[in-house]
Structure 1
Amino acid sequence: MTNIREQSLEQPVDVAEYLFRRLHEIGIRSVHGLPGDYNLIALDYLPTCGLKWVGSVNELNAAYAADGYARVKQMGALITTFGVGELSAINGIAGAYSEHVPVVHIVGCPSTISQRNGMLLHHTLGNGDFNVFANMSAEISCDVAKLTNPAEIATQIDHALRTCFIKSRPVYIMLPTDMVQAKVEGARLKQPIDLSEPENEPEKEAYVVDVVLKYLRAAKHPVILVDACAIRHRVLDEVHGLIEKTNLPVFVTPMGKGAVNEEHPTYGGVYAGAGSHPPQVKDIVESSDLILTIGALKSDFNTAGFSYRTSQLNTIDLHSDHCVVKYSTYPGVAMRGVLRQVIKKINQSELSVQPSPTVENEVTKNLDDSSVITQAWFWPRVGEFLRKNDIVVTETGTANFGIWDTKFPTGVTALSQVLWGSIGWSVGACQGACLAAADDKSDRRTILFVGDGSFQLTAQELSTMIRLKLKPIIFVICNDGFTIERFIHGMDANYNDIVQWDFKALVDVFGGSKTCKKFAVKTKESLEQLLKDPSFNAAECLQFVELYMPKEDAPRALIMTAEASAKNNAKLE
Structure 2
Amino acid sequence: MSKTVNVAQYLFTRLHQLGVRSVHGVPGDYTIRALDFVKPAGLQWIGNCNELNAGYAADGYARVKGISALFTTYGVGELSTINAVAGSYAEYAPVIHIVGTPKRSAYISNVVVHHSLGDGNLRVMAEIYKKFTCAQASLFKPENAPELIDAALEHCVKESRPVYIELPSDVVGARVSAHRLHTPLNTSTPSNIAIEEKEIVDVVLERLYSAKQPFILVDGLTAADGIVDEVNEFVRPFGTLDFTDYTESADLALVFSPLFSDTNTQGWSAVPRKEISIVFHRNHLEIGETRTHKLGNKSLIQALLNHLDFTKVRSQSPKATALPSIRGLAKSLAPPNPEAPIDQDTFYLRISSFFRPKDIIICANGTPLAGSRDFVLPPDTKLIASSIWLSVGHMLPATQGASLAQHELGTGGRTILFEGDGSFQATAQELSTIIRYKLDVTIFLISNDGYTFERLIHGPEEEYNDIARWNYLLAPEIFGAPKCGSYEVETHDVGTWGELQSVLDSEKFQNGKGLKMVNVRMGRLDINTKFKEALKLAGQQLM
TM, length-normalised to structure 2: 0.95
1:234 corresponds in structure 2 to 226
**Residue 103, structure 1, aligned to residue 76, structure 2:** no
Aligned equivalents of 1:150, 1:549: Cα separation in 2: 57
Aligned equivalents of 2:385, 2:137: Cα separation in 1: 29
Bigger Cα displacement from structure 2, 195-204 vs 381-390:
195-204
1:513-532 deviations in Å (ceiling 9; x for gaps) = 52311111111101011011
Asked if the contact 2:260–2:271 (Cα under 8 Å) also holds between the matched residues in 1, the reply is no
Q: State which of 108, 130, 147 in structure 1 corresponds to 2:139.
A: 147
Unpaired runs of at least 5, structure 1: 1-8, 249-265, 270-280
Shift of 1:341: 1.5
% identical aligned pairs? 39
Q: State which of 516, 526, 531 in structure 1 corresponds to 2:504.
A: 531
Q: 1:492 to 1:569 in 2, by over 3 A?
A: same
1:561 corresponds in structure 2 to 534
Aligned equivalents of 2:76, 2:334: Cα separation in 1: 49
What are the within-5 Å matches in structure 2 for residues 47-66 of structure 1?
Answer: 47-66=39-58
Q: State which of 160, 166, 169 in structure 1 corresponds to 2:158.
A: 166
Bigger Cα displacement from structure 2, 85-94 vs 355-364:
355-364
Asked if the contact 2:356–2:413 (Cα under 8 Å) also holds between the matched residues in 1, the reply is no
Asked if the contact 2:70–2:98 (Cα under 8 Å) also holds between the matched residues in 1, the reply is yes
2:330 corresponds in structure 1 to 362
Shift of 1:362: 2.3
Aligned equivalents of 2:512, 2:131: Cα separation in 1: 41
Aligned equivalents of 2:7, 2:189: Cα separation in 1: 26
Q: State which of 519, 522, 526 in structure 2 corresponds to 1:546.
A: 519
Question: What secondary structure does 2:100 align onto?
Answer: strand
Q: State which of 443, 450, 464 in structure 2 corresponds to 1:481.
A: 450
Q: 1:364 to 1:209 in 2, by over 3 A?
A: closer
1:259 corresponds in structure 2 to none
**Residue 178, structure 1, aligned to residue 178, structure 2:** no
1:398 corresponds in structure 2 to 367
1:416-471 deviations in Å (ceiling 9; x for gaps) = 11210000101011100001011112322000111111100000000000000011
Tell me which amino acid in the other structure corresponds to 2:279: D
1:299 corresponds in structure 2 to 261
Question: What secondary structure does 1:463 align onto?
Answer: helix
Shift of 1:318: 0.6
1:317-371 deviations in Å (ceiling 9; x for gaps) = 0100211101233242221122121111120011113166533262753765451
Aligned equivalents of 1:121, 1:437: Cα separation in 2: 40
Asked if the contact 2:336–2:497 (Cα under 8 Å) also holds between the matched residues in 1, the reply is no
Question: What secondary structure does 1:231 align onto?
Answer: coil
1:68 corresponds in structure 2 to 60
Question: What secondary structure does 1:343 align onto?
Answer: helix
Asked if the contact 1:222–1:353 (Cα under 8 Å) also holds between the matched residues in 2, the reply is no
What are the within-5 Å matches in structure 2 for residues 432-511 of structure 1?
Answer: 432-511=401-480
What are the within-5 Å matches in structure 2 for residues 202-351 of structure 1?
Answer: 202-244=194-236, 247-248=237-238, 266-269=239-242, 281-308=243-270, 310-351=272-313
Question: What secondary structure does 2:147 align onto?
Answer: helix
Asked if the contact 1:286–1:309 (Cα under 8 Å) also holds between the matched residues in 2, the reply is no
Aligned equivalents of 2:211, 2:492: Cα separation in 1: 53
Aligned equivalents of 1:158, 1:103: Cα separation in 2: 14
Bigger Cα displacement from structure 2, 156-165 vs 320-329:
320-329
Aligned equivalents of 1:58, 1:28: Cα separation in 2: 21
Question: What secondary structure does 2:438 align onto?
Answer: coil
Tell me which amino acid in the other structure corresponds to 1:540: K
Tell me which amino acid in the other structure corresponds to 2:333: K
Question: What secondary structure does 1:17 align onto?
Answer: helix
Question: What secondary structure does 1:330 align onto?
Answer: strand
Tell me which amino acid in the other structure corresponds to 1:563: K
Aligned equivalents of 2:256, 2:11: Cα separation in 1: 34
Shift of 1:10: 7.9
TM, length-normalised to structure 1: 0.90
Question: What secondary structure does 2:361 align onto?
Answer: strand
Aligned length: 532
Asked if the contact 1:230–1:236 (Cα under 8 Å) also holds between the matched residues in 2, the reply is yes
1:157-198 deviations in Å (ceiling 9; x for gaps) = 111111001100000001001111112221211111011111
1:46-87 deviations in Å (ceiling 9; x for gaps) = 111010000000011110000000001111110000000000
Question: What secondary structure does 2:223 align onto?
Answer: helix
Unpaired runs of at least 5, structure 2: none
Question: What secondary structure does 1:70 align onto?
Answer: helix
Asked if the contact 2:419–2:446 (Cα under 8 Å) also holds between the matched residues in 1, the reply is yes
Tell me which amino acid in the other structure corresponds to 1:504: L
Aligned equivalents of 2:291, 2:137: Cα separation in 1: 32
Aligned equivalents of 1:437, 1:374: Cα separation in 2: 31
Aligned equivalents of 1:557, 1:132: Cα separation in 2: 46
Aligned equivalents of 2:80, 2:44: Cα separation in 1: 22
Q: 1:518 to 1:14 in 2, by over 3 A?
A: same
Shift of 1:545: 1.2
